[in-house]
Amino acid sequence: MSGANGAILEIQGLKVHFPVPRGVVKAVDGIDLRIEKGETLGLVGESGCGKSTVARTVVGLVKPTSGRIVLEGREIQDLSPQEMRPLRAELQMVFQDPYASLNPRMTVASIIGEPLLIHRGLRDTDARVCELMSLVGLDPSMRRRYPHEFSGGQRQRIGLARSLALEPDVILLDEPVSALDVSVQAQVMNLLDDLKKRLGLTYLFIAHNLAVVRHMSDRVAVMYLGRIVELADRDTIYAEPMHPYTEALLSAVPVPDPVVEDTRERIRLEGEIPSPTEEIIGCPFRARCPKAFDRCKTEAPKLKEHAPGHFGACHLPEENQSDE
């Protein structure tokens, strides 16, 4: 069941700031996102922009500095670990590194069955473990083995089976294929797409690879320095990017046609990324933006709907309209 406004998961004004000796690192600096039931929302951006912090904050691994997180109509940002425990059945996460996210001292049967033991009190989980392993394309006869006996793609499937054990509504996927070979990436993405359709899942899909996000997502949010700079449906954001940062990211995605690839212009960003502790005046992207103008130096753009369903945090659309 989704919340009163139709969103199964909603993030409002989320800020996550970490104090450091020389100031404060604004890992997430006031973002708004809403995910509808059955949707896949892609969240993309460079490493260090705050994508993983968003996911970890939503599941309660990191406490927010301010803002609201609403899961199926219930605010969860201030819940204690004990209060959060019953919601684990509704909200799960698959981590980026399949080598580090599995306990090497536990068998696969124990890893996948652990949520059932902790949350449901089930001690005989063998049948359910076999069912889950089959669901993600693993041979149930391998359930007595340890993680080191599996490949990277198989380990990620184990992590996915563990996340499905409690039959969640929402799964946060934190770069689930970035550590895998390209051929294995395609297998895991196809599996995720199939599971979404069969089980009615909702995904927040985090990645830095825009080609992967295009395959998986219904809508795409682009993140830069802890802020959302563009948000639109998948086809619009790839065909008509509004923000210069999105344009630069898309120009770096290889095209399978060698003729087109040879003639395509790559946008190379100049300048330095601001320090995470620096107080930024004006647009955070200004120092690297090839289209920056005077207004960008003094006024930080707000995320606005410049076209139906297409949001951007950039002064250019308004500037272009005024020129017309």
- List, for residues 89-116, the tens digit of each pLDDT value: 899 999 988 888 899 999 999 999 999 9
φ and ψ at residue 121, rounded to 5 degrees: 70, 20
pLDDT at 184: 85
61 by DSSP, 3-state: which? coil
pLDDT at 129: 96
Q: Which residue has the tokens 């290889």?
A: 254
Domain borders along the chain are 7-90+168-323
State the virtual CA torsion across 157, 8, 233, 211 in degrees, nearest 10.
-10
Mean pLDDT lowest for which of 25-34, 163-172, 220-229, 263-272? 263-272
pLDDT at 234: 93
Using the predicted structure, report yes or no on whether residue 170 has a pLDDT greater than 70.
yes
Residue pair 172/205 in contact (Cβ under 8 Å)? The answer is: no
Using the predicted structure, report yes or no on whether residue 35 has a pLDDT greater than 80.
yes
2 pLDDT band, cuts 50/70/90, is very low
The CATH number of 7-90+168-323, from 1.10.3720.10, 3.40.50.300, 3.40.950.10, 3.40.1620.10, is 3.40.50.300
DSSP string, 15-59: EEEEEETTEEEEEEEEEEEEEETT-EEEEE--TTSSHHHHHHHHT
Closest CA to 180 of 98, 104, 255: 98
Residues 6+ away with beta carbon under 8 Å from 128: 113, 116, 122, 165
pLDDT at 266: 74
Which is more confident, 275 or 255?
A: 275
Using the predicted structure, report yes or no on whether residue 1 has a pLDDT greater than 70.
no
C-alpha to C-alpha distance for 320 and 306, rounded to whole angstroms:
12
How large a percentage of the chain has pLDDT more than 70?
Answer: 94
In this prediction, residues 10-38 reach a mean pLDDT of: 93
- Residue 128 is encoded by which pair of tokens? 């359910």
Which is more confident, 264 or 15?
A: 15
pTM of the predicted structure, to 2 decimals: 0.90
Using the predicted structure, report yes or no on whether residue 285 has a pLDDT greater than 50.
yes
pLDDT at 259: 65
Closest CA to 161 of 199, 218, 213, 212: 199
pLDDT at 261: 60
User: Do the bridges between strand 219-224 and strand 40-44 make them parallel or antiparallel, or are there none, so unpaired?
Assistant: parallel
pLDDT at 82: 87
Alpha helices, DSSP H, located in the chain: 51-58, 81-84, 108-120, 126-135, 152-164, 182-199, 210-216, 234-239, 244-251, 258-263, 294-298, 316-323
265 pLDDT band, cuts 50/70/90, is confident
Which is more confident, 322 or 145?
A: 145
pLDDT at 3: 41
